[in-house]
Amino acid sequence: MKTLNVGMIGYGFMGRAHSNAFRRVNNFFPLDHKVVLKAACGRDGAKTQAFADTWGYESVETDWKRLIERADIDVIDIAAPNNVHAEIALAAAKAGKMILCEKPLAMNSPEALKMVKAVEKAKVPNMVWYNYRRIPAVTFAKQMIDEGKLGRVFHYRAKFLQDWTISADVPQGGPGTWRLDVAIAGSGVTGDLLAHCIDTALWLNGGIQSVTATTETFVKQRKHASTGKMTKVGIDDASLFLARFRNGSLATFEATRYARGHKALYTFEINGEHGSIFWDLHDLHRLQWFDHRDSGTLRGWRSIHVTDGDHPYMGKWWVPGLQIGYEHSFVHQVADFIEGIESGKPAAPTFRDGLATDYVTDAVLASARTGRWVNVKSA
């Protein structure tokens, strides 16, 4: 068996989610490569060592440049905050490493474009961690759409609602809360939450032509974790937009961290000529399906428990009826990435797909600034 040596940069929430996926993938998916957790990298040596011990990394680096120089590393996984994605990815591509990068791909689309050019020039396998595509019910929705079950699509409706930043005491900057610091995150919920909704939508419903958006920053000043000083908040706390897809369908998207009572309510609904699909992250193993072609008396919404061996990925886990969860979407993503390397058919979303999402988020932010419809570039 060949080995695939991983160099992980970052040890926060995503560092854990990715490490868990790397550790489990060979137990459940037949692959020609065995994943080896070779090195963990973070600026704080003690914390990185503790992370490495917990997850079983063989070694520790405190400088990502040194990690990239190492000949025994095959894949660089960027699980660090958004403002360092580009610099690391450009260096890793130059060194000929395969790259996995957390979402959003970059701080903005010009930066993302540089990253796409770098990986394509270096011809290194690359992928962005938009994990929700690989929740089996979401992958199943994609299969149903590709089989033409919905027919012509009229509407796409997506939401990602949270409530964890309502208190004005939540700082900007620091572990986890760097998402509130525009210099590190690039944007607020547009890049953090809407980006997930957009990635899924582009995959399920094709390209977006134009958008009109509005955003709001409800808490204008927050203490900065690094200076202790009250500092202007530069991120969007809520972001809503209307979109026209290239297939002629109309869409609404909404993301906020101010929807009291909602922790990670990601939902989407698609209304087509023959039927409709609805999915909810809080009930992630179910896909709601309405088929207008059913006989009139029996017509109604079906709740499909996506746990059958014939459902995407599920044959690799337990027996029908026993469900899996959030973390498994990351395991599936690693499995598909490795299968892509082995088959020579790269798995998506690639950096170029990540750029497509960044083009939409940039258009959303531009529209929110100008109050106008903005055309979206094609990646």
Residues that bind ligand SOE (CB under 6 A): 162, 192, 196, 264
- Closer by beta carbon to ligand SOE, 162 or else 187: 162
d(CA 26, CA 22): 8
CB atoms within 10 A of CB 72: 12
- Compute the least distance from the CB of residue 45 to ligand SOE, in Å: 25
- Compute the least distance from the CB of residue 192 to ligand SOE, in Å: 5
- Given a contact cutoff of 8 angstroms between Cβ atoms, the answer to whether 267 and 278 are in contact is yes
- Closer by beta carbon to ligand SOE, 73 or else 189: 189
Q: Which residues contact 237 (CB under 8 A, 6 or more apart)?
A: 165, 188, 189, 215, 216, 217, 218, 219, 256, 257, 258
Closest residue to bound ligand SOE by CB: 192
- Given a contact cutoff of 8 angstroms between Cβ atoms, the answer to whether 189 and 256 are in contact is yes
- Compute the least distance from the CB of residue 331 to ligand SOE, in Å: 15
- Closer by beta carbon to ligand SOE, 164 or else 317: 164
- Compute the least distance from the CB of residue 123 to ligand SOE, in Å: 28
- Compute the least distance from the CB of residue 297 to ligand SOE, in Å: 41
Token code pair at residue 321: 């009826």
Q: Which residues contact 16 (CB under 8 A, 6 or more apart)?
A: 55
- Closer by beta carbon to ligand SOE, 79 or else 145: 79
Distances (CA, A) of 228 to 49, 166, 175, 224, 231: 28, 19, 14, 5, 9
- Closer by beta carbon to ligand SOE, 139 or else 162: 162
- Compute the least distance from the CB of residue 3 to ligand SOE, in Å: 29
Q: Which residues contact 73 (CB under 8 A, 6 or more apart)?
A: 5, 6, 7, 38, 39, 67, 97
- Compute the least distance from the CB of residue 162 to ligand SOE, in Å: 6
DSSP string, 124-163: --EEE--GGGGSHHHHHHHHHHHTTSS-SEEEEEEEEE--
Residue type, 124: V
In 3D space, the residue among 45, 38, 126 whose CA is nearest the CA of residue 88 turns out to be 126
- Closer by beta carbon to ligand SOE, 31 or else 182: 182
- Closer by beta carbon to ligand SOE, 5 or else 131: 131
